[in-house]
Amino acid sequence: MKEVKVINTLTQEIAKKIQRMSGTYTPYVIFTDWCKMLSLSISNACEIIHGDLWQQREKTYIDTASKYTSEQLNTIVELGQALIEVYEQEGPYDALGEIYMAAECGNKSTGQFFTPFHVSVLTAQLHKYPEDEIIRLNEPSCGAGGMILATAKVINERGGNAQRQLRVTAQDLDWNSIYMTYIQLSFNGIDAVCIQGDTLMNNPFSEEHAMRTPKNKGVLL
């Protein structure tokens, strides 16, 4: 099996924990459930009014969590804490894409593979970004959000402020990609709306299919 090169040691540790949890569920299922629960907890924490959408997402969270033992849920909480440490070390960084590949979730059956972050950064470096103006970024097939994070990283390195300047619309057909992107942009303080849907259809989206980052909602995470 081809070895996946992992740059950050914390992402490697997270990937190993996910693999050790596997048994009843595959690493892919554990990873996607973790991303779903973490996304929903962030989203609902930003809501003052507990309306129908809040209730729906709360039920989804509870139903997903019920698959796991108390010990496994404690491990899942630890995964989130370690993920935050990665961003504290690296700043904008495609940690979840790296974890996904290192935990061997990417394969032919799932059909998902994520571009190595250094490649995304090289691509982002080809563009010029203003230091003080609002930058609107539309990512029609966001994956784990790696290209957005690479753009944020380059903006910061060139003297800009991605948290203040970026206004992102991220879209993907796959809910797991939306969850991954939403988590990463939320923890990196990026103003974004993440939309589950077919970009090519260009249909109006409902809030049920959208996840707005805390920064977009004016909430401090």
User: Mean pLDDT throughout 195-207?
Assistant: 83
Count how many Cα atoms sit within 13 Å of the Cα of residue 83 in the half-sphere of its side chain.
28
Count how many Cα atoms sit within 13 Å of the Cα of residue 191 in the half-sphere of its side chain.
14
d(CA 122, CA 117): 9
Using 50, 70 and 90 to split pLDDT, how confident is the model at 2? very low
pLDDT for residue 31: 97
Quickly tell me which residue has 């409902």 as its tokens.
206
Helices (H), ranges, 46-126:
52-65, 70-90, 95-102, 117-124
pLDDT in tens, 62-92: 999 999 999 999 999 999 999 999 999 999 9
Mean pLDDT of the chain: 92
Using 50, 70 and 90 to split pLDDT, how confident is the model at 27? very high
User: Mean pLDDT throughout 101-122?
Assistant: 81
Has residue 29 got a pLDDT over 70?
yes
What are the tokens at 156? 């910061």
User: Mean pLDDT throughout 152-170?
Assistant: 97
Selection from 168, 189, 146 nearest residue 42 by Cα:
189
